[in-house]
Amino acid sequence: MRLPRLVSVVCVTFATLLAGTAPAAPSADRPNFVLLMGDDHGWDETGFNGHPYLKTPALDEMARTGLRLDRFYSAGSSCSPTRGTVMTGRHHNRYGIFAPGWSLRPEEISVAQILRQAGYATGHFGKWHLGPVKASSPTNPGAMGFEEWVSHDNFFELDPYLSRNGGPPEQFKGESSEIIIAEALRFIDRAKRAGRPFFVVVWFGSPHEPYQALPRDLALYDSLPATFGNRQVRLTSNETGRNTQRLQRDVLRERFAEITAMDRSIGQLRDHLRRQDLRQNTLLWYCGDNGTPQEAVATVPFRGHKGDVYEGGVRVAGVIEWPAKIPRPLVSAVNTVTSDILPTLCDLAGQPLPKRPLDGISLQPIIAGRMTERPSPIGFWNARPRAEAAGTRRPYIAVELQKGTTPLVKLGPDGTATRNFQNFHHPDIRPEDFAGPRAIVDNRYKLVVDGERGSTKELFDLRADPAEKNNLITAEPAVAAKLEQQLRAWQQSVLESLTGADYR
């Protein structure tokens, strides 16, 4: 079967990359890269996207002076899946990350590995959630290409417990976003002294629930209108670690305070880069990892929320700042996605891509102001793990190696404060493997299959109907049929990767 252009395949092996055949430009000529990601930070929750109450001056300034990606997507509708796409440029189902708490596979090639081989200093700070961060994990940040890391298996709040380079968790006192930015800045300073370009990933624990914030940040939102968030919502109690119900307005006050603290830490990063004369040639890329979670939905202009393949689950804020190459403000309406990050950074660093099916493309033409449409559609898919009897699935990684160590406030189903991971072999492809909510987005239309319980197929004109209110499935049968064929062919490619074929 000939696959549609949704899947990009390039022809340079990672062994060749490791052999160092790609010429490396002098350090001074190569850009630095910093990836920033909010945890559960929805599209609408920034000032630059029109939020009526939130204060995000640093992100607003990045959007005002840099490249604002108005149609940016998280490739997954929840955290672990999307983070996998950032690291690999590949859809998360290709390597068995079906949901939060499913790990990477050790054979995956990460952007950190590629850039480290090219001479970049590589550091990870904050949420990892692609496997345990402990030293023995085969998918910890170090195994995936980071020289240094101060990281958590999952999300974290004030005074977090983090692991430094895989060591035992230690508590860091203070506001969590500022803590991990401070660690990142120390790493950046060391890279500068060594004369090395740097690749730094900062994945915040904010604003994921349960919400905790400093009094000065909470005070900014003391006067939310009485009519705003006037309903009960479910979330985690900071006191018990279990589910509770609270007034949404009080919850949003805490959530907004966390977002403002995260934004302030981004401002600290930008200021430090300027003082160190690094701002001009450092590319900062901010995005969220999925849409707004249910308890926080209040101003979302789209259908759905975190966990959905509708726009409310996968459309997120995206902005790139790089003064050396984006000297004037740009706004792009091209569909872009977290899978594009690896191809883009490799392109900008002059590094070849792995010889594997990739689901992302380089956005260098957008940065240069030359791309007005995406050359291939984007696929979304919340695949379901096989419903097999306990003990019949073969773990991809030994169970002991998948056990997490860093505690968090929210207790797991078994009452523990840590999180474990899983991944399984899928040696064959079965008809039932194609199931699960899924969607495909081209430059105008979006086909959704099994998006909601009881629904079948829906077609939306996103340019005219971004809220996905008007189903055109009967009005545009040819468009729907073409997208369905592309979606099925892409799923076939993804499932072939899931069997491990890309590693052979």
Compute the distance between CA of residue 128 and CA of residue 118 in angstroms, rounded to an integer.
Answer: 23
pLDDT single digits (tens) 55-67 = 999 999 999 999 9
Structure tokens at 419: 């999180």
pLDDT at 436 over 50: yes
Whether the per-residue pLDDT at 496 is higher than 70: the answer is: yes
Whether residue 236 has pLDDT greater than 60: yes
DSSP 178-216: HHHHHHHHHHHHHHHHTT--EEEEEE--TTPSSP---HH
What percentage of the chain exceeds 70 in pLDDT? 94
What was the pLDDT predicted at 389? Answer: 65
Segment 357-377 mean pLDDT: 97
**CATH code for the structural domain at 427-503:** 3.30.1120.10
Query: Could you tell me which of 464, 368, 386 has the C-alpha nearest to residue 430?
Result: 386
Q: Over the chain, what is the mean pLDDT? A: 94
Q: With left for phi above 0 and alpha for psi between -120 and 50, is residue 403 left, alpha or beta?
A: beta
Greatest CA separation for the chain: 63
pTM (predicted TM-score): 0.94
Per-residue pLDDT tens over the stretch 216-235: 999 999 999 999 999 999 99
pLDDT of 36 reads: 99
pLDDT at 411 > cutoff 90: yes
Query: Residue ranges of the domains in the chain?
Result: 32-330, 427-503
> Rounded to an integer, what is the distance from CA 165 to the centroid of its chain?
22
Q: Check whether 325 has a pLDDT greater than 80.
A: yes
- Residue-level pLDDT at 401: 98
- What is the predicted pLDDT for the residue at 28? 58
Q: Which fold has domain 32-330?
A: Alkaline Phosphatase, subunit A (3.40.720)
Res. 16: pLDDT tops 50: no
Rounded-to-integer distance, Cα 356 and Cα 110, Å? 12
**For residue 162, is pLDDT > 50?**
yes
Alpha-carbon distance of 345 to 366, in angstroms, equals 13
Residue 204 has pLDDT above 70, yes or no: yes
Higher pLDDT, 206 or 17: 206
Nearest to 417 by CA among 407, 403, 427, 406: 407
pLDDT higher than threshold 90 for residue 2: no
